[in-house]
Amino acid sequence: MIVLYATDVSLYSAKVAIALEHKGVPYERRMPPGGSYRAPEYRAIVPAGTLPAIDDGESRHRSRAEEGDARRRPVEVGAHDPDRADGNHGHGYA
């Protein structure tokens, strides 16, 4: 059975719970271990410490931060510049 780690004050958690209910997916709702998403007990399960989190007992989505790829990717300078001389305004057409 799916475990949904959520808090009562999280709108994101509420949205996931509503989606699970709507789809008829059986789940168990739990507060994060340690009482907070910042607690070491919860971060042992979800290293990013984000809510909501779903654990299906088999696999778990890993964020880029958990995979060590948390650095920001550079954006091409001028990619969205409406005054570019080449007419490319960053929306895929000239």
Q: Which CATH architecture has domain 2-55?
A: 3-Layer(aba) Sandwich (3.40)
Q: Is residue 34 classed as helix, strand or coil in its secondary structure? A: helix
The encoded tokens of residue 10 equal 């999280």
pLDDT digits (tens, 9 = 90+) for 15-34: 999 999 999 999 999 999 99
Strand partners, 27: 2
**What's the CA gap between 72 and 75, in Å, rounded?**
9
Question: What pLDDT, on the 0 to 100 scale, is given for residue 67?
Answer: 52
Residue 62 above 60 pLDDT? no
Question: What pLDDT, on the 0 to 100 scale, is given for residue 33?
Answer: 92
Name the residue type at position 76. E
Within 13 A of 83's CA, how many CA atoms are on the CB side? 0
| Per-domain boundaries in the chain | 2-55
Average pLDDT score over residue span 60-86: 51
In the structure, what pLDDT confidence band is assigned to residue 40 with cuts at 50, 70 and 90?
very high
Question: What pLDDT, on the 0 to 100 scale, is given for residue 56?
Answer: 84
* Continuous H helices in the chain: 11-23, 40-43
